[in-house]
Structure 1
Amino acid sequence: MKAYDIVIAGGAMAGATAALALDTLSGGTLRIAVVEAMVPDHREHPGYDARSIALAQGSCAAFASLGLWESLAPFGTPIQHIHVSDRGHAGQTHIDAQSQGVAYLGQVIELADAGAVLHQKLQHREAIDVFCPDAVMAIERTPAAVTVRLKQGQSLTASLLIAADGGRSSCCQQLNIPRQQHDFGQVAVIANVSTALPHQGHAFERFTQTGPVALLPMSQGRCSLVWCMTAEQAQGLMQVSDDAFLHRLQQVFGWRLGKLLHVGERHAYPLTLNQVVRPVSHRVAVVGNAAQSLHPIAGQGFNLGLRDVMTLAHTLTEAASRGDDIGAMPTLMAYAKQRTPDRDATVALTSGLVHLFSNDSPLLAGARNAGLGLMSALESIKQPLVQRTIGWVEPR
């Protein structure tokens, strides 16, 4: 049996970042094991598939604080402007980097590229062992430790298990950690799209009768599409030709980027709010999508998860430096207490936007358009949304 300070189940974005943050902040004094089921530089990895992720400016700063952004930056496409509008109505608002005094509002990076960078970093840290391909098959907790048995036969023991194994977390299922779920009744159709006009760093979020449509700037002049709709509508759109798909998207999105020229492979993901009731349990902390999977309406999911990871890494390394038990409930509850306000506010924001902008009520349509108009005119009204969009949320 191998002994560690921390075992991390899941080596995709959240798990890999947690391991690297803990190693960096502790100066390599914590022994860490990362257990990952699939080699993350493979494009079929569910955490590193054709999807892109929008890293808020605050998330890029967090990666920079860990010495990681320099390696990730070449794969990023800066977001300089965000345009928010409501189809069929006049209300709209703009957010731009220059007016906020930042170089960019965020960066769009393909998960496959980010995964390859982080996985390579893990291989070069002496205090981190990576078990890949492997998986946690059984978990046993005692008052003083947690032991996991791996699929390949090895057993690992540690003071703490960090569950970072995705929205369908096997660890949470094995431990019967209670969850809350809400089905938004929507599916996200995701693809990469080429446009006739260059995006010039513009990101678009357009609210329609079926749900939001987002186009995010990507490398090579492409845009990353997230198009939310009912399951029935998604099923139909997944089956039509590329030309028919682009024609329908053009009708919904408009001509701000000129003619839509090409669409890549399409993927469809059901949208639910899926969160653990409490992100800590005896000898266990839950982070990333395992802790909460959000609607993509405001691009908050990974950015919230990264703030969880950073706070947990700081809490654990500070506890370790004091000689405290890093897996004890007082340490874990201190972490959970710090994260509750941000977590609750972000979940409320995304869920509220979904219900506000996916409703055809004339009263609500008037209210949200008035709101968008006020945001455009009054910086004080827009600023709370801007701060969360940019990621200016204190992560500790």
Structure 2
Amino acid sequence: MKQFDVVIAGGAMAGMTLALALDSLSQGKVSIAIVEPFQVDHQSHPGFDSRSIALSYGTVQILSKLNLWQDIAPIATAIKHIHVSDRLHAGMTDIDHKDLSTDALGYVVELADVGRVYHQKIAQSESISLFCPDSVSQIERTQTHNVITLNSGQQLHGKLLVAADGAVSSCCDLLGIELKQHDFEQVAVIANIRTQQAHQGRAFERFTEQGPVALLPMSDDRMSLVWCLRPESAQQVLELDDQAFLSQLQEVFGWRLGQLTQVGSRASYPLLLRYREHNTSHRFAIVGNAAQTLHPIAGQGFNLGIRDVASLAEEIAGSLEDVGAYSVLSAFKQRRQDDRINTIAMTSSLVHLFSNDYLSMRIGRNLGLALMDNIPALKTPLLQRTLGLVAR
């Protein structure tokens, strides 16, 4: 049986970031195992696939402190300006990096690129062992440690087990940690888009009666599209040919980037809020999408997960004599409580406010957007959460 301080189930963004954060903060003193079912090649790995994610300003600060950002920066595209609008109505607001005296409001990275960077860093670490392809099939907990049996038959002995294995976490299921779920009755259609005009670091979020449409700036002057639609509409646009798809998107998004000229392969996934009220148990912690999976509106989910990861890594690094002790997990749970509750509530409220066409809602949100654009005091609280500048 192989002995480790920390065993991490899940080797996508949350799990890999946690392993590298622990390695950095403990200066290699924590022995870590990562158990991951999928090889890194992006054709098959659901955590490091062709999707893009937006890293908030706060997340970049965290990654910098963990000595991870310098390797990600060359493959990241800066968001210099965010334009938020409501389709067919007057309300809109603009946020520019110069107004906040920052280099960028955030950055967009492709998961497949980050996967390659992370795997190179993991390979260079003597403290991190990768069990891949493999997965957790059984967990036995004692007072002082966990015995984790893998599908391969290998057994790992760890003082702390961390679930970073996605929204439908098998580790949480094995331990009976309850999952709560709310269906937003929307589907996200994702694709990469080319436009007539260069994006110049501009990101767009446009609210429609069916849900938000987001276009994020990427490398090579591409845009990353997340288009939230009712399930029947999503199915219809997925079946369109490229030209018809671009035409329908143009009608919804408008002409701020000129003509939409090209679309890559399309994918979709249903939008659900999934969360576990308790993010710790005996010698067990939950981070990332395993703890909470949010609607993509305002791009909060991944950034919330990174705050989970950084907080857990700091608590562990401050208590190396027993990394799975009750005191470590209790401090982690306490630290994360307010941020988790507030971010989940804000995200869900925004979906409700901006995904319907009731007259009262329409007037309220357009008035809100107009006021935010003109009264900085109203813009600041939402802006701080959007930028990830929140206490953790």
TM-score class, shorter:
over 0.9
Superposed CA offset, 1:162-198 (max 9, x none): 0001111111111110111110000000000000001
Moved over 2 A (4+): 41-44
Given the alignment, which residue of 381, 386, 389 partners 1:384? 381
- Counterpart of 2:151 in structure 1: which amino acid? K
Task: Give 1:132 deviation, angstroms.
Answer: 1.0
Distance 1:42 1:138 in 2: 28
Superposed CA offset, 1:219-264 (max 9, x none): 1110000000111111111111011100000000000000000111
Matches within 5 A, 1:62-77: 62-77=62-77
Matches within 5 A, 1:13-28: 13-28=13-28
- Match of 1:140, SS state, is strand
Superposed CA offset, 1:285-318 (max 9, x none): 0001111000000101110000000000001111
**Residue ranges of structure 2 left out of the alignment (5+ in a row):** none
Distance 2:347 2:370 in 1: 20
Distance 2:307 2:52 in 1: 19
Task: Give 1:45 deviation, angstroms.
Answer: 0.8
Distance 1:89 1:340 in 2: 37
**Is residue 2:361 matched to residue 1:364?**
yes
Task: Give 1:326 deviation, angstroms.
Answer: 2.2
Distance 2:120 2:37 in 1: 16
Superposed CA offset, 1:120-168 (max 9, x none): 1111111111111111111111111111111222100111000001111
**Is residue 2:329 matched to residue 1:332?**
yes
8 Å contact from structure 2 (residues 42, 50) kept in 1: no
Matches within 5 A, 1:229-378: 229-320=229-320, 323=321, 325-378=322-375
- Match of 1:167, SS state, is coil
Give the CA RMSD over aligned residues: 0.9
8 Å contact from structure 2 (residues 4, 31) kept in 1: yes
Task: Give 1:333 deviation, angstroms.
Answer: 1.5
1:210 paired residue number: 210
Distance 2:183 2:237 in 1: 21
8 Å contact from structure 1 (residues 18, 313) kept in 2: yes
- Counterpart of 1:369 in structure 2: which amino acid? N
Superposed CA offset, 1:341-395 (max 9, x none): 1111111111000000012111111111110011000111001111111111233
- Counterpart of 2:300 in structure 1: which amino acid? Q
Q: TM-score, normalised by structure 1?
A: 0.98
8 Å contact from structure 1 (residues 193, 263) kept in 2: yes
2:130 paired residue number: 130
Matched-pair identity in %: 55
- Match of 1:190, SS state, is strand
Superposed CA offset, 1:75-106 (max 9, x none): 11000000000001100001111101110000
Distance 1:331 1:226 in 2: 38
- Match of 1:147, SS state, is strand
- Match of 1:319, SS state, is coil
Task: Give 1:44 deviation, angstroms.
Answer: 2.5
8 Å contact from structure 2 (residues 78, 105) kept in 1: yes
2:48 paired residue number: 48
8 Å contact from structure 2 (residues 166, 289) kept in 1: yes
- Match of 1:5, SS state, is strand
1:92 paired residue number: 92
Distance 1:287 1:319 in 2: 19
Task: Give 1:62 deviation, angstroms.
Answer: 1.2
Task: Give 1:204 deviation, angstroms.
Answer: 0.2
8 Å contact from structure 1 (residues 43, 112) kept in 2: no
**Residue ranges of structure 1 left out of the alignment (5+ in a row):** none
Task: Give 1:43 deviation, angstroms.
Answer: 3.1
- Match of 1:108, SS state, is strand
- Counterpart of 1:180 in structure 2: which amino acid? K
Distance 1:239 1:18 in 2: 39
Distance 1:240 1:88 in 2: 24
Superposed CA offset, 1:43-81 (max 9, x none): 331011110000001111111111111111111100000
Matches within 5 A, 1:169-208: 169-208=169-208
8 Å contact from structure 1 (residues 190, 268) kept in 2: yes
- Match of 1:349, SS state, is helix
Q: TM-score, normalised by structure 2?
A: 0.99
Task: Give 1:19 deviation, angstroms.
Answer: 0.4
Distance 1:354 1:193 in 2: 24
Distance 1:122 1:393 in 2: 29
- Counterpart of 2:235 in structure 1: which amino acid? Q
Distance 1:65 1:328 in 2: 25
Distance 2:326 2:29 in 1: 22
**Is residue 2:162 matched to residue 1:165?**
no
2:112 paired residue number: 112
8 Å contact from structure 2 (residues 37, 134) kept in 1: yes
